[in-house]
Structure 1
Amino acid sequence: MQKILDFDLEQTLECGQCFRWERQPDGSYTGVASGHILNISEENIPQIAQDEFWGNYFDLKRDYAKIRADLSAADRTLARAAQFAPGMRILNQEPWEALCSFILSQNNNIPRIRGIVKRLCEQFGEPIGDGFFAFPTPERIAALEPEALCEIRCGFRAKYVVDAARKVASGVIDLERLKTAELSDAREQLMQIHGVGPKVADCTLLYGLHRLEAFPMDVWMKRAMQTLFPGRSPEAFGCYAGIAQQYIFHYSRCNPELFAQERQHAG
């Protein structure tokens, strides 16, 4: 079977875009997506790529080498960032799961987010076998009061999750329609949800709705843009700005010396 190029499991599954994959002692990853359970390793990627659902989930039909080359041609710094993690891909996650997960991600670290999401699924999701649970539907969460989420220890985020579920379940927020709406309109729609600001909205657009032009900006990304791309806006990266964002974010977090000069000036 043909080897899949430009796909690295660690770069893709541990970059902060998803929270239901666990690395196993043998280096493989086990996770759940849209009610499907999978163990994936470097060895079985070619077989996984033949499966319609998982091939789409891992975005394996997209030519990331060409995207990376096009982005790199436009900027030398972006070229270094892209080359640092050439195996990173943007997953096609279930939109509601992405929205809910990134609401839970606010002011949180990745291990804790994973724990909250796991408890949410175990408490309110349907069992799907082998000790795994599906992500709870918006209808299931919409029927709850925020206090019911105390056991998953998500704190102040509980009321935001319930509000999001009620708006999605009632059709006030139509996630499918947001896949094709103008990006600014889609962002505004998501920000109708209590507790959803521009960053969570753009994370939902990029990671849940596969809007590859979306460019989430947290404090770290704002700092990276100011330091590495002064005067540039996300729109400057074009229709694959979201992929550029992943390269920049990962490169910046893994190379703190890039900001040493900035700290010296501040001192």
Structure 2
Amino acid sequence: MEFFIQKTPTFDLAATLDSGQVFRYKLTGGGATLIAGRHRAGFTACEDGWKVECDDAPFFKKYLDFDTNYDIIQLKTQDKGFVSSAIAFGRGIHILRQDAAETIFSFLVSQNNHIPRIKGIIERICDALGEDMGGYRAFPTIEALAGAGTEFFASVGAGYRAEYLSRTAERLAEEDLDEWRALPTEELRAKLTSLHGVGRKVADCVLLFGFGRTDVFPVDTWIRKAFSEEYGAMPADKLAVRLVERYGDLSGYVQQWLYYYKREQKNSAKL
């Protein structure tokens, strides 16, 4: 199955995939390969966009969030100073519409970790527990993860996160994430933070990337540094609340553009 993505100022494939939302991808000369759940897509760069070869075109169009008008969002989120610069720099980034369970486990792995190592741990989990889809492995089911045990997760390099992964999988095997999806954001955050190893920041990442809740503002080191002059050394949880009050239902978009902007500024400074 094939479809075409037209190149526009509001969609940048590489920036979207490489912005810390997702980990089962590989950038390849202007294109990419991407595995999401049980599905895989290959993106080939063309002069005016990307040709996409995949097993399910409607799935990937929804996954890449092409139903959202990013031009309107960017007009509504214009701000003073560095936030405007961040929006201009990261305006091609879309919020990916990911599976909730995959996002929970991926962001448990991501804690105090760097992207190459996160990607390696997740791939080893998928290689061992995921269904063989013919040339790649699906992300494992909750049941497969729940049956793996702490020792397995330690063996793939998860470190102290192994217990988080094991206990969370066992808990989720007894839950219905579709019921969670119907909850208001605050109640859903409480459900997520009741999982072993999930704090406010991971919960907000899962809310944004796994449940599509854009009324959250995940706060990490990059975000705290960005707002330190305006808000001082405010605790992360309080800063998250203040920023949601400021940006409302568009908070998640601003956060992602700002995170990417500050991270890339840091990377450029190293060159």
Give yes or no for TM over 0.5.
yes
1 CA distance for matches of 2:52 and 2:146? 38
Query: Considering only aligned residues, what root-mean-square deviation do their CA atoms show, in Å?
Result: 2.4
Alignment of 1:40 with 2:43, yes or no, is yes
Change (3 A) 1:217 1:88: same
Partner SS, residue 193 of structure 1: coil
Determine if contact 1:93/1:207 at 8 Å carries over to the other structure: yes
Match in the other structure for 1:92: 97
Alignment of 1:62 with 2:61, yes or no, is no
CA displacement at 1:221 relative to structure 2: 1.5
Partner SS, residue 160 of structure 2: helix
For residue 243 of structure 2, what is the amino acid of its counterpart?
Answer: P
1 CA distance for matches of 2:53 and 2:85? 30
Consecutive unaligned residues of structure 2, counting only runs of 5 or more, are none
Please list, as runs of the form range in 1=range in 2, the aligned pairs for 1:118-267 lying within 5 A after superposition.
118-130=123-135, 132-171=136-175, 174-227=176-229, 233-235=242-244, 236-256=246-266
Change (3 A) 1:237 1:46: farther
CA displacement at 1:228 relative to structure 2: 5.9
Determine if contact 1:212/1:242 at 8 Å carries over to the other structure: yes
Change (3 A) 1:180 1:77: farther
2 CA distance for matches of 1:226 and 1:64? 28
Determine if contact 2:42/2:53 at 8 Å carries over to the other structure: no
Change (3 A) 1:19 1:256: closer
Alignment coverage as a number of residue pairs? 253
Match of 1:29 among 28, 32, 40: 32
State, as a whole percentage, how many aligned pairs show the same letter. 33
Consecutive unaligned residues of structure 1, counting only runs of 5 or more, are 260-267
**TM-score normalised by L of structure 2:** 0.86
Partner SS, residue 82 of structure 2: helix
Determine if contact 1:77/1:228 at 8 Å carries over to the other structure: no
Determine if contact 2:65/2:96 at 8 Å carries over to the other structure: yes
Determine if contact 1:224/1:252 at 8 Å carries over to the other structure: yes
**TM-score normalised by L of structure 1:** 0.87
Determine if contact 1:48/1:55 at 8 Å carries over to the other structure: no
1 CA distance for matches of 2:266 and 2:40? 36
2 CA distance for matches of 1:182 and 1:98? 19
Alignment of 1:114 with 2:136, yes or no, is no
CA displacement at 1:176 relative to structure 2: 2.3
Alignment of 1:82 with 2:87, yes or no, is yes
For residue 79 of structure 1, what is the amino acid of its counterpart?
Answer: S
Determine if contact 2:41/2:52 at 8 Å carries over to the other structure: no
1 CA distance for matches of 2:108 and 2:5? 38
